[in-house]
Amino acid sequence: MQIQEDKPYDDINITPMLDLAYVLLVIFILMCTASVQGVKVNLPKASNAPSLSKPKTKLITVNNEGRVFLDTVPVTIAELEQRLNQQKTKTPDFPVVIRGDSLTQYQGVMDVLDVVGRIGISQVGLATKPGAK
């Protein structure tokens, strides 16, 4: 058997270098995910103050018979104005959504919009269904 020492290597074995790269990659991934968790802290508890919470939306519905409902309670226009005034004193900037039946008289919805405008509620929405394409 004859060994040729003056012949250079034909290929380089890179398997040990790839093993080292994979080990370093795994260590890097483990260290990054471990540091994301952060520091444990005992958080203070907040009170359940209603002033800090988002104001509840009031829903006004006018059905096809012209009857008016505030949330689900039937009311007259005078009672609607009184209850909305009470709510405005508690939370001055509360939102109102008005739903009118498609078969209702337009005057019923206009009466409700008139009450909302007199009280000075600025966040008013009209509920509709998406139209067919």
* pLDDT value, residue 6: 66
Q: Residue 46 carries which DSSP code?
A: P
Residue pLDDT tens, the chain, 133 long:
566 666 666 777 888 889 999 999 999 888 777 655 555 656 667 666 555 556 688 888 888 888 888 888 889 999 989 999 988 888 888 888 888 887 778 888 888 889 999 988 888 888 877 766 6
Asked if 88 and 119 count as a contact pair (C-beta separation under 8 A), the reply is yes
* Domain annotation for the chain: domains and CATH numbers: 58-127 (3.30.420.270)
Give the pairing type, strands 73-75 and 68-70. Answer: antiparallel
Q: Is the pTM of this model over 0.85?
A: no
Asked if 94 and 56 count as a contact pair (C-beta separation under 8 A), the reply is yes
